[in-house]
Amino acid sequence: MTSYREFYIDGRWVAAVGTAVLPVVDPSTEAAFAEIALASAADVDAAVAAAKRSFDGYARTSRLERIELLEALIEEYRKRQDEMAEAISLEMGAPLELARRAQAPAGLDHLQQAVAVLRDYRFDRFINDALVTREPVGVCGFITPWNWPMNQIACKVAPALATGCTMVLKPSEVAPISALLFSEMVHAAGIPAGVYNMINGDGPTAGEALVRHRDVEMVSFTGSTRAGVLVAKAAADTVKRVHQELGGKSPNLLLDDADFASAVPRSVRSCFGNSGQSCNAPTRLLVPRARHDEVVALAGQAAGALRVGPPRAAGTALGPVVSATQFERIQRLIGIAIAEGATLVAGGLGRPDGLERGYYVRPTIFADVSNDMTIAREEVFGPVLAIIPYDSEEEAIAVANDTPYGLSSYVTSGDRDRARHVARRMRAGMVHLNGAPLDSAAPFGGYKQSGNGRECGIFGFEDFLEVKTVFGHGREGVES
């Protein structure tokens, strides 16, 4: 078993002050393969102090200097991208094919996007005689999840580096190995000491100390809505900027003119991707009542075609969910759906046949779901799909918006103008029309209890900038 007892602080690896350790478990075997030190408040203080000391100098670096640093980090990432995919697959159970195709490349994509925005970004503008300039917000605290580890780390770290901020990263203690590897890349790239710092730790100790710290001027958190509420409360005493990307219960609306033969299997695969462990997964499939049984048959066939198995086995579509806690939560919600009268179409309680060890969940589909059932209200974060029938387009839109969440939504129609019209009425931060994929240059984020602020591209970039107005400045002598 590998032991990681050091944190990356002030440009070097330093021994943890705290003595607590935590095993890191391979969810496909339920066996620990590593252990990490858990940061104490003293470790958090040391990391924040390093970030604070380095801020003034790094904030004054030029656009070109920051581009060169990011390009050096991109080069280091490229060298070790396959290693990153292996680490992600091992720590959180993603099929190795998915880790190589999507999980690891997501980190590189965000680094490249940050460079693309930085090259042409106008930091200075004028309103009459006043200069309006954007400056780095300061020391940032990042708390990231286990489900898309490098996606969430890079979409925070990259724009922070690009804008001149310094930072302390606390990745999920459930899946920390990818963050340790990323920190090695940061060091090899020559990022100045203290600009990027990384500690491991749990939420109640390290996470709370980071959020409450008086020298942290912005917190960016990705995780559950429940945890996001606690983060916001803890940050309130110091009136720091809080940026959150939280949960979702995304509606997937199939209009009556959709091509059901292609749309339904695509919907199932999209919901079950990453073993259902994505905040923007389309977990509520809204279908015309007259075609409900047709959809049920198609969805059942699609679920049956998905192979659940070890992450490193060829042909595996779904690996395990990340932990025993997550497995037990999913089982509880499946049991509640059955008790509340939803029709079980595929999957159900327990592990798939032949998989007695590991946190494997049966790909599960419920039909005849009403939107007031628990399975339609709570975020499951597992491979569970709820099929909800509707009688009219107006009803479908109302049901789609009847949720405390508002992260993403999906609309499929044979008439693109009709799909666009419905998209305008979705109360969500993102709408996918006819299966359109994400674009990392466009903003990612949600309405309502799905969070605030936006990540990715220029919108994510600007969340790390403060706005300063200099009255009477005049238009001469400004390099934007």
- Name the residue among 179, 160, 172, 211 with its Cα closest to residue 41: 211
**Pair 29, 310: CB distance under 8 Å:** no
CA pair distance 267, 250, nearest whole angstrom:
12
Which residues make Cβ contacts (< 8 Å) with residue 419, sequence separation at least 6?
255, 411, 412, 413, 433, 434
Please give the helix or strand (H or E) that residue 149 lies within, else none: helix 149-163
Sign, Cα dihedral of 81, 83, 88, 89: positive
Phi, psi of 242 (to 5 degrees): -125, 120
CA pair distance 332, 378, nearest whole angstrom:
12
With H, G, I as helix, E, B as strand and everything else as coil, classify residue 101. Answer: helix
Does the annotation count 378 as an active-site position?
Answer: no
**Pair 299, 385: CB distance under 8 Å:** yes
Strand partners for 470: 131
Residue type, 95: P
- Name the residue among 149, 142, 172, 138 with its Cα closest to residue 99: 149
> What is the DSSP pairing of strand 166-170 with strand 196-198?
parallel
Catalytic member of 279, 379, 455, 456: 279
**Pair 390, 396: CB distance under 8 Å:** yes
CA pair distance 38, 18, nearest whole angstrom:
6
With H, G, I as helix, E, B as strand and everything else as coil, classify residue 310. Answer: coil
CA pair distance 295, 446, nearest whole angstrom:
28
Count the Cβ atoms, other than its own, within 10 Å of residue 384: 23
**Pair 40, 15: CB distance under 8 Å:** no
CA pair distance 348, 231, nearest whole angstrom:
34
With H, G, I as helix, E, B as strand and everything else as coil, classify residue 318. Answer: strand
Count the Cβ atoms, other than its own, within 10 Å of residue 248: 29
Catalytic member of 6, 217, 245, 455: 245
Q: Which two tokens stand for residue 44?
A: 């958090």
**Pair 69, 191: CB distance under 8 Å:** yes
With H, G, I as helix, E, B as strand and everything else as coil, classify residue 29. Answer: coil
CA pair distance 177, 414, nearest whole angstrom:
44
**Pair 27, 320: CB distance under 8 Å:** yes
CA pair distance 378, 358, nearest whole angstrom:
24
Does the annotation count 279 as an active-site position?
Answer: yes
Residues involved in catalysis: 245, 279
